């Protein structure tokens, strides 16, 4: 079994924020699974079991706030005895231009508090699908940028970005992180 953890913040006020791209991607995975995806609360998260190709996968949206995401993800991984090599985290990334994906295996948190929490609970050895949101303009601070909504121009691209991140998760599960990295890393983001 695989575990796909989408990072985000619970609550309607954050639903369409940049920081909730991870939630949006796991929602897209659930939507593609159709009626077989049944979200339910368990262990501090919303989880749904689906099939990704021939593999069983648990989708996980931690319902603690971003800084505590790893606690719920760790409980879910422990309960189902999912190995770190079969965990994929999906999240927003300030240090990538808007629209660019970067897949990786292992590494640090890069200043992302949700990832820092995952590492504290799971260790660093899990696959990552990082979704570029770009840096805030001018002197706007990072916290208000990630918790804010997308610009009108970005809103047009968000569905395509979510679909591409979903495809990246599917590729990791089907072919492994190295093959998926070769396919998705280095693609240029959409023109702004």
Give catalytic status of residue 112 as yes or no: no
Residue 119, both tokens: 């590492």
Q: Which of 19, 100, 102, 128 is catalytic?
A: 19
d(CA 19, CA 131): 10
d(CA 115, CA 109): 5
Dihedral sign computed on CA atoms, order 35, 63, 69, 130: positive
- Are 79 and 43 in contact by the 8 Å Cβ rule? The answer is yes
Cite the active site residues. 19
């Amino acid at each position: 079994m695989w575990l796909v953890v989408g990072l985000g913040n619970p609550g309607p006020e954050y639903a369409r924020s940049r920081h909730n791209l991870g939630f949006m991607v796991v929602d897209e995975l659930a939507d593609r699974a159709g009626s077989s995806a049944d979200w339910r609360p368990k262990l501090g998260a919303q989880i749904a079991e689906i099939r990704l190709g021939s593999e069983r996968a648990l989708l996980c949206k931690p319902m603690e706030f971003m800084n505590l995401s790893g606690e719920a993800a760790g409980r879910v991984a422990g309960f189902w005895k999912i190995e770190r090599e079969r965990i994929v985290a999906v999240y927003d990334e300030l240090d990538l231009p808007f629209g660019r994906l970067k897949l990786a295996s292992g590494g640090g948190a890069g200043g992302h508090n949700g990832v820092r929490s995952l590492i504290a609970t799971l260790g660093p050895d899990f696959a990552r699908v990082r979704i570029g949101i770009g840096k805030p303009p001018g002197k706007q601070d990072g916290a208000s940028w990630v918790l804010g909504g997308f610009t009108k121009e970005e809103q047009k691209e968000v569905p395509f970005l979510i679909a591409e991140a979903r495809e990246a998760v599917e590729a990791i599960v089907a072919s492994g992180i190295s093959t998926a990295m070769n396919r998705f890393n280095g693609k240029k983001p959409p023109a702004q």
